[in-house]
Every structure is written in structure tokens, then in C-alpha cells.
Amino acid sequence: MLLKHKHSLSLRLSHWLNVPIILMLVWSGILIYWAYPAYISMPAWAVEKFNLHHRLAEGMGWHFTLMWALIANGIFFVIYSFVSGHWRALVPTSRDLKNFIPFILSDLRISKRKFPETDEYNPAQKVAYTGALIMGFGAVITGFAIFKPVLLGWLTALCGGYQTARFLHFAMMIGLVLFLIVHLIQVGRSGWATFQSMISGYEHEQD
């Protein structure tokens, strides 16, 4: 049994930092949203039990702190990817885009077409990972558009106006949550070795 290097320390650090940052951004965003009582669509007892009222300042404090962490981590990851050449493993080629739907149909056993196992990310992974990066970027841009609609009026206008920017901000958040759910299912299907390699950086290889 040989050990093969798979994920660099920079990649793993940046990846795992995303988990608390994104989960806490979603949570603090919900606190901001629910600070307006008309938006809470749950029974009064649940609001009371889970202490969901009047937490606007707390939600904003976390949201506007963690957004800088997301931006810093995003910039770090993009610089790392370009300097190391890692972006080539991540960004789908035109062939990956063509194979995206056929790969998913094959993975779901709907089509009989077989894709050879390789060390590379498969077309669905590449599209999903690049999509998650784009959604993270989109969440930051639309976030600034609704955070500073006067100071950054040009950005708000570029996002289609305040209400559209707000809608897009929610859409990015829902997209990231859906990505995370599918990502976790796929990591579960792929097995312990894949998860372990994202922690240690190494993967066992048969010699």
C-alpha cells in the first residue's frame, strides 16, 4: 500500500474554513431575516422556544464579520489556484460541460453509458465546485449591493435594483446550501478514503 499526495495544505485549510464560515453566514442571515416578525412563518411557541426574536444586532454583527472571512478565504483560494495551477483540475473544459448531463444520468443509473474512473474530478464535480465558487462570489457581490445601496448604488443597479439584488442574494444562499447537501451525499457515497484525504492530504494507493 502506497500513500499518494492528493490535496495540498492550502487547499485543505481553505476548504475546511469554508464550512463554519458558510454555515454561520446562513445562520446569521436567517437571524437578520427573521428580525422582521412578518417573515417568521412558524408557530409563536417555536419562535419563543428557539429564541428567534429580536436578534437583529447579533445577526448583523456575525454576518458582516464573517463576510470578510469569506472574502479573504475566497481571495486566498483564487490566488492559490492560479499560482499552483490547481484551477486546471477544477474548471470544467468544454468536454466536461458536454459530458455533464450524460455523466449525471450515468451516475444515477438512468443511462447505461460508462465513464472510465480517473484521478481527475469528474465533469459533475468540476461543474459543482466551480459553481460553488461562482455562487460564493455572487453572494458577496449581491450582499454588498443590498448592504450599501446608496454608497454602492452603481453595484445595486448592476444587480438589477435593490429587490432583484436581494432575491439573487437569497438564490445564491439556497444554491450554496443545495450544493452542500449534494456534496455531502456524494462524499458519503465516495467513502471514507475520500473524506480522509481531504483531512490528511494523502490517499492510499494499491501498488
Residues in contact with ligand HEM by CB under 6 A are 11, 15, 18-19, 22, 90, 129, 132, 176, 179-180, 183-184, 187, 194-195, 197-198
**Could you tell me the smallest distance in angstroms from the CB atom of residue 35 to ligand HEM?**
25
50 C-beta neighbours (distance < 10 Å), count? 10
Nearer of residues 76 and 179 to ligand HEM, judged by Cβ: 179
CB of 80 to ligand HEM, least distance (A): 9
Bridge partners of 135, per DSSP, are: none
Residue 82 burial by Cβ neighbours in a 10 Å radius (0-12, 13-18, 19+): exposed
Name the DSSP letter for residue 7. S
Angle at which helices 9-34 and 162-190 cross, to 10°: 130
* Least separation in angstroms between CB 163 and ligand HEM: 26
Residue number, 121 or 167, with CB nearest to ligand HEM: 121
- Kindly state the smallest distance separating residue 184's Cβ from ligand HEM, in Å: 6
Nearer to ligand HEM, 4 or 98 (CB): 4
Residue number, 125 or 156, with CB nearest to ligand HEM:
125
In whole angstroms, give the CA distance from residue 153 to residue 91: 32
Q: Which one, 90 or 141, has the nearer CB to ligand HEM?
A: 90
Q: How far is the CB of 149 from ligand HEM (least distance, A)?
A: 26
CB of 54 to ligand HEM, least distance (A): 29
Which one, 77 or 144, has the nearer CB to ligand HEM?
77
CA atoms within 13 A on the CB side of 70: 26
Query: DSSP characters for 113-157?
Result: ------SSPPHHHHHHHHHHHHHHHHHHHHHHHHHSTTTTHHHHH
Give the sign of the dihedral formed by CA 53, CA 56, CA 61, CA 66.
Answer: positive
